Amino acid sequence: MAIVKEASFRTARLGLRATPRQQAVLRRAADVTNKSLTDFILESACQAAEQALLDQRLFLVPGERHQALLDLLDRPAAVNPGLKALFARPRPAALAASDARPRRGKAR
């Protein structure tokens, strides 16, 4: 993908918070690679984002295993008691909602 090397015409603004330790590590890494902190963070974040997206969309199956994979995907889902119990528990976000700060911007 061309996102990583796209360096001109930056108009979107991103903001983030980091601990002093995280900032120091990022600055050191940017210095070592002879990049600005912004360039280093953007390139690293875009590479990680592209990899995460590819991990969700693309996987390779050898030809001899292709039909076995299709058969597994076509099979009805089996009941999984552990998974059922997991989904019955409250989400961590719901548990922490009482001490969460209100979000800025429009509610979704």
Question: How far is it, in rounded angstroms, from Cα 78 to Cα 71?
Answer: 14
pLDDT reported for residue 64: 84
Cα of first residue to Cα of last residue in the chain, in angstroms, is 31
- Using alpha carbons, list the distances in angstroms from residue 24 to 3, 30, 68: 26, 10, 49
Output the pTM of the full model. Answer: 0.48
| Encoded amino acid at 73, one letter | L
Residue 44: count other Cβ atoms within 10 Å of its Cβ: 16
Q: Environment class of residue 29 by beta-carbon count within 10 Å: exposed (0-12), middle (13-18) or buried (19+)? A: middle
List, for residues 12-37, the tens digit of each pLDDT value.
Answer: 999 999 999 999 999 999 999 999 99
Neighbour count for residue 5 (Cβ, 10 Å):
8
Indicate whether 71 pLDDT > 70.
yes
What is the per-residue pLDDT for 97?
61
Element (H, E) at 72: helix 63-74
pLDDT in tens, 72-105: 999 998 899 999 999 998 887 766 665 555 555 5
Identify the pLDDT of residue 106. Answer: 56
Q: Is the pLDDT of residue 4 over 70?
A: no
